[in-house]
Amino acid sequence: MELASHRYGDVVVAAPVGRIDHANADSLTAALAPFLDPADGAGLLLDFSRVDYISSVGLRVLMLAAKTLRTQQRKLGVAAPTTTVREIFEISRFNLILDLSPSVRDGLARLSPHAVATFDAARPAGAA
């Protein structure tokens, strides 16, 4: 799984696409690995706006990523989940351990004032 990514200040926004299940959870793990490198130091925000579904195996990948970042005093956020994925987070109670935000901008704001300022500066005036 390839993750399109963009850095806003001290936060990287990465965007998985499609279904995350037992068929490609290993691929997501591999794709996330570079962002979990302790040398990076940036926070990580996953833009979930194009994820249709996430299974238990995929949720485990998120939990392990959050755990890894936590040991490095870094943060993981998940932004803009679809209605279905948001429901899965709630039913699995992952909403209790993930830092969820309704939009990428909100997610950046939760992780870093510098990152959201960079994001706003990069957007045309009036854009969401």
Binding site for another protein (CB under 8 A): 22, 53, 55-57, 59-60, 63, 84, 87-88, 90-94, 96-97
What is 45-108 written as a DSSP string? EEE-TTEEEE-HHHHHHHHHHHHHHHHTT--EEEE---HHHHHHHHHTTGGGTSEEESSHHHHH
Q: Which is nearer to another protein, 20 or 42 (CB)?
A: 20
Work out how close the CB of 94 gets to another protein at its nearest, in angstroms, rounded to a whole number.
5
Q: Which is nearer to another protein, 22 or 50 (CB)?
A: 22
Asked if residues 78 and 66 have their Cβ atoms less than 8 Å apart, the reply is no
Work out how close the CB of 95 gets to another protein at its nearest, in angstroms, rounded to a whole number.
9
Work out how close the CB of 26 gets to another protein at its nearest, in angstroms, rounded to a whole number.
9
Asked if residues 79 and 106 have their Cβ atoms less than 8 Å apart, the reply is yes
CA 40 to chain centre: 16
Q: Which is nearer to another protein, 54 or 116 (CB)?
A: 54
Q: Which is nearer to another protein, 97 or 109 (CB)?
A: 97
Query: CA 85 to CA 80: how far, in whole Å?
Result: 10
Work out how close the CB of 60 gets to another protein at its nearest, in angstroms, rounded to a whole number.
4
